Copies of this chain bind each other. A is one copy, B any other.
């Protein structure tokens, strides 16, 4: 029970045994990892409440925001994830999960958050095809490059690039009834040379959805909801650790203040004007470097598979 504070040091304002009692209620059959992670969460949660003297009303307001995020979440939108993103948590666990012990310049391609808009089973397309359908305008871009083994430099055969980005109106296709299903998404598989190419749009910056709790939080924090223009990728190949990442347009005015804190220096790219191609006005060369499971293991590269992070 939460005992009275007989054993409290004289200046201790709140029951000094309470948090230990809650943590110690954990039973002997809890897994060591659960005991550690949830025990630590209880300690931080309680320390936060005491340090800031959180009142019942404040706790209830925060709880209602979190409950509402859950209520809004479905297979097309994950508002709880968006709340985490605004607080920097997804970018942080991404860093923690994929951190390489090495800081070698030739490391595998850096990762960035999955975000809430990935969809499984994007259409498989032939190399060189476009992912743009039913869209007026936009800066068409030829993106191309090679997927290599980061240690040997050898091209990776059978690498699948799963790509997705927003339309010029700032909406992903599942947010926008006017776009064809699976628009601006595609999966491309490399041949022996490891090379890939496809047509997409030069993406636009856009606001994350701010009609729910994440928007409320941004408003309370006096922050904008804009993300710098970016293209999402999951790159995977047999025997290699999958990489979830995003690349960002250096010219975007929000490149230094992403609402979800996902930008990393090595993921900033330059779109180049393209001449003599009637299908595209820009070119974007970009290479992906993958690590095998053994290479990743040697470098403390932990990671989640895309399937298990599906939302």
Let me know if B41 and A48 touch, CB within 8 A. yes
Give the complex CA separation of A34 and B220 in angstroms: 7
Give the complex CA separation of A144 and B89 in angstroms: 52
Chain B: minimal CB distance from A13 (Å):
7
Let me know if B81 and A257 touch, CB within 8 A. no
Contact of A80 among B70, B88, B265 (CB under 8 A): B70
Count of chain A residues near B, Cβ 8 A: 91
A15: chain B residues at CB < 8 Å are 95
Let me know if A56 and B14 touch, CB within 8 A. no
Knowing A55-B304, A304-B57, A309-B56, the reply to whether A45 touches B96 (Cβ < 8 A) is no
Give the complex CA separation of A22 and B275 in angstroms: 41
Contact of A257 among B25, B67, B303 (CB under 8 A): B25
Give the complex CA separation of A78 and B72 in angstroms: 15
Let me know if A40 and B50 touch, CB within 8 A. no
Query: Is A28 positioned at the interface, with any CB of B under 8 Å from its CB?
Result: yes
Query: Is A27 positioned at the interface, with any CB of B under 8 Å from its CB?
Result: yes
Interface string of A36-77 (1 = CB under 8 A from B): 111011101111111111111111100100111111110000
Give the complex CA separation of A50 and B91 in angstroms: 12
